[in-house]
């Protein structure tokens, strides 16, 4: 997992996570790009809280990353069933190619590590704005 780009004035930070596309015969390395917006982080925290308070091992809801990539380019996959799977400690995405027995799934993403990285990426924009305001004054 790595920070792809820091936040800007109009967009939240992007985080790239490793993923795998696989079927019965082959396995390809992929990546998923997640946008760490405040709304999405709040939604993730809410799902994590539901797991913890209800004692659930996992919670599966509709959800997909910003995009799936292969070799740094949008994979343009014909996807059918996007899932966001959340546990109290981690989350990951899973999807299936339409009409095939092929799945694409991210690695498990440690919740605390992801939230720290998202906060760092989003904080860089806040620091840049404060620096610009200080220079202007």
Q: Where are the domains of the chain?
A: 2-129
Q: What tokens were used for 78?
A: 């014909």
Candidates 74, 105, 79, 78; CA nearest to 92 is: 105
In whole angstroms, give the CA distance from residue 18 to residue 116: 18
Candidates 61, 105, 93, 97; CA nearest to 76 is: 97
Per-residue pLDDT of the chain (137 residues; tens, 9 = 90+): 655 555 565 578 889 999 999 988 989 999 999 988 889 999 999 999 999 999 999 999 999 999 999 888 888 888 888 999 999 999 999 999 888 888 999 999 999 999 888 888 776 554 545 455 555 55
Q: What pTM, to 2 d.p., does this model score?
A: 0.81
Chain centre distance of CA 38: 13
């Amino acid at each position: 997992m790595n920070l792809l780009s820091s936040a800007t004035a109009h967009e939240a930070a992007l985080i790239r996570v490793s993923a795998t596309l696989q079927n019965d015969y082959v396995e390809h390395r992929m990546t998923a790009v997640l946008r760490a917006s405040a709304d999405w982080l709040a939604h993730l925290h809410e799902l994590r809280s539901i797991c913890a308070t209800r004692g659930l091992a996992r919670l599966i809801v509709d959800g997909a990353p910003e995009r799936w990539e292969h070799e740094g380019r949008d994979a343009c996959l014909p996807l059918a069933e996007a899932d966001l799977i959340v546990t109290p400690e981690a989350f990951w995405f899973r999807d299936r190619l339409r009409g095939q027995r092929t799945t694409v799934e991210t690695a498990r993403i440690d919740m605390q590590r992801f939230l720290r990285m998202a906060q760092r990426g989003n904080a860089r924009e806040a620091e840049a704005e404060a620096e610009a305001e200080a220079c202007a004054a």
